Amino acid sequence: MKRIALFPGTFDPITIGHVNIIERALPLFDEIVVGIGNNSSKSTLFSIEQRQQWIYDIFKNEPSVKAMSYEGLTVTFCEKINAQYILRGIRTMADFDYEKNIAQMNKIIHPQTETVFLMCDPAYTPISSSVVRDLIRNNGDTSQFLPKEITW
């Protein structure tokens, strides 16, 4: 059976921290689906199509990485794409506490799906999409936080 992992998030925009998690997870799974969640309660800066294109551009030489958008429960999307794993990156203990609760709820709702946590490399701990969006909105320099493929 193919080992498929869903890496869910808004990726608005995808950062070098996200890329680091995906690259480190590549040897663990046969396929990684970067799931761009369409969350109506979040205000995004970039369109889903733009975020998806960036992911394809960044991983153009890695056929096991795909980008798809979805709405609704993450575990429902896992069922749809036959993903047995949810991949989550952890930067801080606060991230872990938050993600642990979601993982436990997901396990109750959909016992077949395992959540796999990867700690981010220490250099990426302060990087978050929300901080990068704030820099973008205020014309700050984001070059050290974003993959080179991201332009607007």
Is position 18 annotated as part of the catalytic site?
yes
Is position 43 annotated as part of the catalytic site?
no
Give the pairing type, strands 31-37 and 65-70: parallel
Is position 2 annotated as part of the catalytic site?
no
Q: What is the C-alpha separation between 129 and 46, in angstroms, rounded?
A: 11
Catalytic residue among 2, 3, 42, 60: 42
User: If residue 35 lies in a helix (H) or strand (E), which one and from where to where?
Assistant: strand 31-37
Catalytic residue among 51, 88, 129, 133: 129
Is position 128 annotated as part of the catalytic site?
no
Catalytic residue among 51, 88, 91, 133: 91
Across the beta sheet with 31-37, the strand order is 65-70, 31-37, 4-9, 85-90, 114-119
Q: Which of 5, 8, 6, 7 is nearest to 29 (CA)?
A: 5
Residues recognised as catalytic: 18, 42, 91, 129
